[in-house]
Amino acid sequence: MNTLDSILSRHSYRGKYKDAPVPRADLIRIMEAGLAAPSGCNKQTTSLIAIDDPAVLNKVRAAINPPVGETAPAAICVLTRRVFAYRDKCFAVQDYAAAIENMLLAIVELGYQSCWYEGHITDDDHIGRQMARVLGVPEDYELVCFLPVGVAESEPVPPKKKAFNERAWFNGFGTVD
Which pLDDT score is estimated for 100?
Answer: 97
Rounded Cα distance between 6 and 9, Å, is: 5
How many C-alpha atoms does 170 have within 13 Å on its Cβ side? Answer: 2
Percent of the chain with pLDDT over 70: 99
Q: What is the mean pLDDT of the chain?
A: 93
Q: Are 114 and 50 in contact (CB under 8 A)?
A: no
For residue 113, the domain's CATH number is 3.40.109.10
Domain that holds residue 11: 3-152
Number of domains in the chain: 1
Judge whether 33 lies within some domain.
Answer: yes
- Cβ atoms of 86 and 40 closer than 8 Å: yes
Domain assignment present for residue 72? The answer is yes
**Cβ contacts of residue 19 below 8 Å, gap of 6+?**
71, 73
Indicate whether 10 belongs to any domain. Answer: yes
Within 10 A of 123 (CB to CB), how many other CB atoms are there? 10
Please indicate whether residue 121 or residue 76 has the higher confidence score (pLDDT).
76
The residue-averaged pLDDT of 42-67 equals 94
- Whether 122 shows a pLDDT value over 90: the answer reads no
SS in 3 state form for 151-166?
CECCCCCCCCCCCHHH
